[in-house]
């Protein structure tokens, strides 16, 4: 595994960064809730804010904004969107 793949989970994105969701490794129940909120494989997500003291992430996917705990964000695998 290359170094660039070691930190490809949602919790490693900085404010303003965007990424495509490639895998979601959560319980079935949480997976259904995330899908209902618009977070699913193939969707783009953007980090709007990171709370201080390892608090939750403020995310946007499509027209939906949500807060996500870091332990949950660690289980969402991503490919970063690169700007040209």
Question: How confident is residue 84, by pLDDT bands cut at 50, 70 and 90?
Answer: low
The pLDDT of residue 16: 96
- Taking 70 as the threshold, does the pLDDT of residue 36 lie above it? yes
The pLDDT of residue 82: 82
Distance between CA atoms of residues 75 and 31, nearest Å:
11
The pLDDT of residue 3: 46
Domain ranges for the chain, please list them. Answer: 3-80
pLDDT, averaged across the chain: 90
- Taking 80 as the threshold, does the pLDDT of residue 6 lie above it? no
The DSSP result for 23-34, as a single string, is: EE-S-HHHHHHH
Distance between CA atoms of residues 20 and 27, nearest Å:
20
Pick the CATH number of 3-80 from 2.30.30.90, 1.10.3720.10, 2.40.30.10, 3.20.20.70: 2.30.30.90
| 13 within 8 A of 47, measured Cβ to Cβ | yes
How many CA atoms, within 13 angstroms, populate the side-chain half-sphere of residue 4?
A: 2
pTM of the model: 0.86
State whether residue 62 is helix, strand or coil: coil
């Amino acid at each position: 595994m290359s170094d660039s793949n070691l930190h490809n989970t949602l919790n490693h994105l900085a404010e303003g960064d965007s990424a495509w969701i490639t895998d979601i490794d959560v319980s079935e129940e949480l997976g259904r809730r995330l899908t209902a909120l618009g977070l699913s494989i193939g969707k783009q997500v953007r980090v709007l804010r990171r709370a201080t003291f390892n608090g939750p992430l403020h995310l946007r996917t499509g027209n939906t904004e949500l807060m996500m705990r870091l332990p949950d964000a660690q289980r969402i695998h991503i490919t970063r969107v690169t700007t040209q």
